[in-house]
């Protein structure tokens, strides 16, 4: 879309220079599509906006649902996270914990980060993806692929492969994400593919972790979450790994909870 059109659509009373100071994200994408994707800008805008909507809402909520379900199945992990919160965050005001001014506070929560990574490994919000080569190529495995071939990646399956994660690949084990120095252990994006890999790595990865840590911190500190007995928890077949029947839980204030069992 041309600059003159942008000016007219935003306001007939604003100059082009004034519009430059007030560009929003939709306008920026429209200009990019007009310049870089002149053949089919509408498709580019549709796909981009859909990605933003899915990434900003559905994937984060789905990730947290699986995370809290896994915590309910692993009370020892929950106890360790709570201990870490009490050790590193000294405020009793839960609301203040949701307004971190810098990343230093979040970086202290190493075990929580590991638990979130484990949840994403076992239950990636986007369970599969596909790519198509623009020209014939040879994969690292030696397989030849033709132009426009559909190559499907199952992130859900990859997170459960012994050849990638070891014999304990089916275990919910936050410790696998902690290095010998007690910091967060880095795993290559081509191994931990919940956020994509290489040049296609999700640009919102850090923001997603920040959101999940803030919400998990506030909830775990204040409440106990117990999944309703006999409620079926299974994934649905979808582009987003929703729980087919949702997650039915009982919530109680933390100070009213019985100590968690740590068998």
Residue 235 tokens, joined? 């994934």
pLDDT tens for each residue of 77-120: 999 999 998 888 765 555 555 555 556 777 889 999 999 999 99
Q: For 257, which DSSP code?
A: S
CA distance 91 to 221: 11
For 220-242, what is the mean pLDDT?
90
More confident residue, 112 or 5: 112
* Residue at token pair 């997170």: 159
Confidence at residue 176, expressed as pLDDT on a 0 to 100 scale: 96
Residue 109 tokens, joined? 């929560």
Say how many C-beta atoms besides its own lie within 10 A of residue 182's C-beta: 8
More confident residue, 101 or 244: 244
Q: For 175, which DSSP code?
A: G
Confidence at residue 69, expressed as pLDDT on a 0 to 100 scale: 96
Is 58 exposed, middle or buried, given 0-12, 13-18 or 19+ CB atoms closer than 10 A? middle
Confidence at residue 3, expressed as pLDDT on a 0 to 100 scale: 38
pTM of the complete model: 0.77
For 228-236, what is the mean pLDDT?
92
- Can you count the helices (H) and strands (E) in the chain? 12, 6
Q: For 199, which DSSP code?
A: G
**Can you list the positions of beta strands (E) in 70-198?**
128-131, 137-138, 144-145, 151-154
Residue 206 predicted with pLDDT over 60: yes
* Residue at token pair 């409440």: 223
CA distance 49 to 26: 9
Residue 248 predicted with pLDDT over 80: yes
CA distance 124 to 63: 7
Confidence at residue 13, expressed as pLDDT on a 0 to 100 scale: 44
Residues annotated within the binding site are 202
Residue 19 predicted with pLDDT over 50: no
The mean-pLDDT minimum among 62-71, 102-111, 161-170, 202-211 falls in 102-111
Residue 249 predicted with pLDDT over 80: yes
What phi and psi, each to the nearest 5 degrees, are found at residue 224? -105, 135
Integer distance in angstroms from the first to the last C-alpha of the chain?
62
Confidence at residue 23, expressed as pLDDT on a 0 to 100 scale: 55
pLDDT tens for each residue of 128-164: 888 888 899 998 889 999 998 988 889 999 999 999 9
pLDDT tens for each residue of 171-194: 999 999 999 999 999 999 999 999
Residues annotated within the binding site for heme are 202
Q: Crossing angle of helices 3-10/25-36, nearest 10°?
A: 160
Phi-psi region of 105 (alpha: psi -120 to 50; beta: other; left: phi over 0): alpha
Q: Crossing angle of helices 205-222/59-73, nearest 10°?
A: 40
Q: Which helix (H) or strand (E) holds 225?
A: strand 223-227
Confidence at residue 72, expressed as pLDDT on a 0 to 100 scale: 94
Mean pLDDT of the chain: 81
Judge whether 114 and 177 are in contact, CB under 8 Å: yes
């Amino acid at each position: 879309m041309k600059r003159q059109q942008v000016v007219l659509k935003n306001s007939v009373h604003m100059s082009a220079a004034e519009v430059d100071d007030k560009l929003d994200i939709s306008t920026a994408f429209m200009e990019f599509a007009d310049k870089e994707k002149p053949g089919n800008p509408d498709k580019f805008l549709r796909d981009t906006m859909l990605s933003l909507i899915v990434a900003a809402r559905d994937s984060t909520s789905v990730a947290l649902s699986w995370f809290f379900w896994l915590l309910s199945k692993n009370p020892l992990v929950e106890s360790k996270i709570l201990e870490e919160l009490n050790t590193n965050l000294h405020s009793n005001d839960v609301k203040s914990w949701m307004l971190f001014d810098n990343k230093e506070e979040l970086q202290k929560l190493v075990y929580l980060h590991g638990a979130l990574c484990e949840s994403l490994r076992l239950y990636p919000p986007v369970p599969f993806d596909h790519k198509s080569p623009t020209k014939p190529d040879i994969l690292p495995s030696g397989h030849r692929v033709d132009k426009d071939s559909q190559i499907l990646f199952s992130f859900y399956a990859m997170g459960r492969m012994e050849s990638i994660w070891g014999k304990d690949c089916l275990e919910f084990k936050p410790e696998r994400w902690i290095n010998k120095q007690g910091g967060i252990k880095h795993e290559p994006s081509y191994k931990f593919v919940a956020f994509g890999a290489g040049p296609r790595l999700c640009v919102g990865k850090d923001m997603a972790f920040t959101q999940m840590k803030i919400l998990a911190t506030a909830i775990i500190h204040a409440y106990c979450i117990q999944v309703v007995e006999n409620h079926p928890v299974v994934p649905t077949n979808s582009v987003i790994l929703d729980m087919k029947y949702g997650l039915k839980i009982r919530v109680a204030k933390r100070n009213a909870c019985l100590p968690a069992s740590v068998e």
